[in-house]
Structure 1
């Protein structure tokens, strides 16, 4: 039996599992919250675009087995979004983690726990020698999480909109066994 593309992952307090249709309102609410949504991809989109994105998780990402995408749950409740995929950035050859937590999940150390779980999955289950993360330079909490986990900062890329994206890398040979 082969491992599912989006296997369930567990840490001390988090459960990551494939999305189900009933997660749509929570997914849209997460991406529509500017405090969270502005850090994903190209930033804020309309609720209609986020509903379409959610639908594409099923019709394209899961159906075509492109990459793992998880609903993050804490104490049984939807708490965020996570994925690991080939980087869409032309300047970054490799896989990157993407994650975000709802505001009511902030300040509990869940960001570190989530990023650790994703990084560990990348190194151990996928066998990746490097796991990357790209972060807006103004997203201080995420920068702090990555540094706490031993990621090293690499490139700084100035975006067309004047913002700066930072590249961080975790190397398997430095990852705790």
Structure 2
């Protein structure tokens, strides 16, 4: 279910057991991990999450989850998955890159690849993303790719999550 994807500089492939240390390091990096889900968790929780990807998500073909590589080196994590949020009935992209890969345009390239996979391969008219309102780099990437704000979701901790959507333009109706 998780196909290999390629862009000009990135290759996305299913995780393998030897990726665990890189995965945990990515999620444990405060500058990166704080934007994922509920934020930084313990290393043991991230190891358990990695185990669920290999032992549950892949075997049950729940949704695609990828290790992201640039020039053969692990640089990030990506998913295209059904949203767990009840207010968002659809599929969302999730991605994060290692700190040392920032500033190279890889975030835009990765988000473009995931969005295209959603629209073109999965045939989705809408692809969603949820982003902390303070995550300016990710918001800039998604805006650059044509995502538009659908709503603001106030969180219990006072923060705001933004729901953004990429829509395939409607085809013109023939006269």
For residues 49 and 81 of structure 2, the distance between their equivalents in structure 1, rounded to whole angstroms, comes to 16
Which residues of 2 match residues 1-177 of structure 1 at below 5 A?
Answer: 5-173=1-169
Q: CA deviation at 1:144?
A: 0.2
* Structure 1 unmatched runs, 5+: none
Q: Which SS does the other structure have where 2:149 is aligned? A: strand
Q: CA deviation at 1:173?
A: 2.0
What count of residue pairs does the alignment treat as equivalent?
A: 170
* Structure 2 unmatched runs, 5+: 171-175
Q: CA deviation at 1:90?
A: 1.0
Q: CA deviation at 1:107?
A: 0.1
- TM-score normalised to the size of structure 1? 0.95
Aligned-residue CA RMSD in angstroms?
0.7
Q: CA deviation at 1:10?
A: 0.3
For residues 170 and 19 of structure 1, the distance between their equivalents in structure 2, rounded to whole angstroms, comes to 27
- TM-score normalised to the size of structure 2? 0.96
Moved over 6 A (4+): none
